[in-house]
Each structure stands twice: as C-alpha cells, then as structure tokens.
C-alpha cells in the first residue's frame, strides 16, 4: 500500500540496519521527513544516503537509547530541524544470542536498551506529540514477547515488557490523541540473525519454525509499522501486531 506522509516527521531508532532501516526508507519514500537514529554512525549515514537517493529527506542523530539525556537531546534536535514530530518507531534493541544472559551485566544492558530505552523514547516523543496535537508510536517487541525462549531470558523478559509498556501508553495517552502499538516480528533476515542464519543447518531450523517456510524480510515489518502510523489504523491502539509467518499458531 502506498501512503502519503507528506509534511509528517518520523523518528526511527535502530535505523542503521535491518527493520529500522527498512522502516526509515519506507517513511522517506512516502514523503515523511525522517530522523534516522542509531549508535552505529556508519549505518545511520548509509540509511540517510539511501533515503536521499530516492528523493526523500532525512538526517542522522547518533543516540544510545539507554541514556535518557541523549534521547531528550535527540528529540530536541529533531524538533529544531523539522519543527514537530508525528511518528516514533522505537526499534533499537539487542539480542545477545551468544551471551550468557544470566550474567548480571548482560541482563542489565539488555534491560537498559530493550525496555528502558523504549520508555525513554516514548516519554520524549509524547512530549513533542502533545504539542502537535497527537501522533502515533510503534514499539518493536517480538514473538518472544508473547511466547518464550529457553535460551534468552533477558531478551524474552524485555520483549514481554515492551508489550506491557505499549499497552500502558495506549491507555495513558489516548486522551492526547496519541496511539501506541507494537510489532512482534518472528525470524527476520537482519544483521541480528545473520550470524545464525549463515549456518545452513540453523537457517533451515529457523525456516521450519514458520508455516510459510521462510524467514521474513525487514520490509514486511516496515509495512506494518507504516500501516499502524497511518489513518487506516486510526482506531488501533494498544495492539501487539504479530508478523511471524504463522510461527505462533503452528
């Protein structure tokens, strides 16, 4: 579906690659001015260049979402650049696939980025959106936020938390005309899954997790994010939208 986001401003965290980059590109192609945010400056700059190559408008702002003051500064800089904020896709996250997540340092880092980072972004975005008279926020959770995973306690816990935080925000800010939803991707071909998916045996296992028999594409998640931000979803809030090729119903 083609959207017209002309005159709108969208902020995407974790936009240096994967789902965040795909969402930033989709917003740019749809006419929105895009704030590309990531801790990876090279990836963020590449995303901005890709948006501009398609005729879109974008800037890069480096931000570690675990740092509340850095998030506030990011939103302030976005407002200075574009004057307002309409949409936020809080996508930055880490998986720690190879780490011992029972290690307290790993647990704390996962929590600070995957959950507390989303809270920091929501709080700053809502302040800007109130001045605009409304807006839409989409957080990135996971199917692991709905089910479970025996090997990733920190990741699973934080992604469950994102859904809870989304539902809280939907109720709290409905009166401000701000809708808050989240997407729950299944196995998607991103840099986060590349290390595992490069092994043919592991890739086959991930593909077999879904009735559709393949991994998802970042663009498929981006399409859902844009729909949730669009007027077509104007009566949708507090919803965890599952995009997993049927994995959670198999």
Rg (CA), the chain: 17
Q: pLDDT > 70: what percent of the chain?
A: 95
The conformational region for residue 155 under phi > 0 = left, psi -120 to 50 = alpha, else beta, is alpha
Q: Give the residue among 211, 162, 212, 214 at the shortest CA–CA distance from 193.
A: 214
Domains of the chain by residue range: 9-242
- Cα distances from 242 to residues 6, 68, 181, 193, 195, in angstroms, run 28, 29, 11, 18, 24
Look up 155 and say whether it is catalytic. Answer: yes
pTM of the full structure: 0.95
Report the largest interatomic distance among the alpha carbons of the chain, rounded to a whole angstrom.
Answer: 51
Active-site residue (options: 3, 87, 155, 202): 155
Q: Give the residue among 172, 216, 173, 226 at the shortest CA–CA distance from 26.
A: 226
**What are the structure tokens assigned to 70, written together?**
């850095």
Q: Kindly report the CATH number that applies to the domain delimited by 9-242.
A: 3.40.50.720
Report pLDDT digits (tens) over 88-136: 999 999 987 666 668 888 899 999 999 999 999 999 999 999 999 999 9
């Amino acid at each position: 579906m083609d959207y017209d986001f002309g005159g709108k401003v969208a902020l995407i965290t974790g936009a240096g690659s994967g789902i965040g980059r795909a969402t930033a590109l989709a917003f740019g192609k749809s006419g929105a001015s895009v704030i590309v945010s990531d801790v990876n400056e090279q990836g963020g700059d590449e995303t901005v260049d890709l948006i501009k190559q398609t005729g879109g408008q974008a800037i890069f702002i480096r931000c570690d979402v675990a740092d509340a003051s850095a998030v506030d500064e990011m939103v302030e800089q976005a407002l200075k650049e574009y004057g307002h904020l309409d949409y936020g896709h809080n996508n930055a996250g880490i998986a720690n696939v190879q780490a011992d997540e029972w290690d307290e340092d790993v647990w704390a880092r996962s929590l600070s980025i995957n959950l507390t980072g989303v809270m920091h972004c929501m709080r700053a975005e809502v302040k800007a959106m109130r001045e605009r008279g409304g807006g839409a926020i989409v957080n990135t959770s996971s199917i692991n936020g709905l089910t479970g995973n025996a090997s990733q306690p920190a990741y699973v816990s934080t992604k469950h938390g994102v859904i809870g935080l989304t539902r809280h925000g939907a109720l709290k800010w409905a009166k401000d005309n701000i809708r808050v939803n989240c997407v729950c991707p299944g196995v998607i071909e991103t840099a986060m899954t590349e290390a595992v998916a490069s092994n043919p045996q592991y890739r086959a296992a991930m593909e077999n997790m879904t009735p559709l028999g393949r991994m998802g594409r970042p663009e498929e998640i981006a399409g859902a994010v844009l729909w949730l931000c669009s007027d077509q979803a104007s009566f949708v809030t507090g919803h965890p939208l599952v995009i997993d090729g049927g994995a959670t119903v198999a």
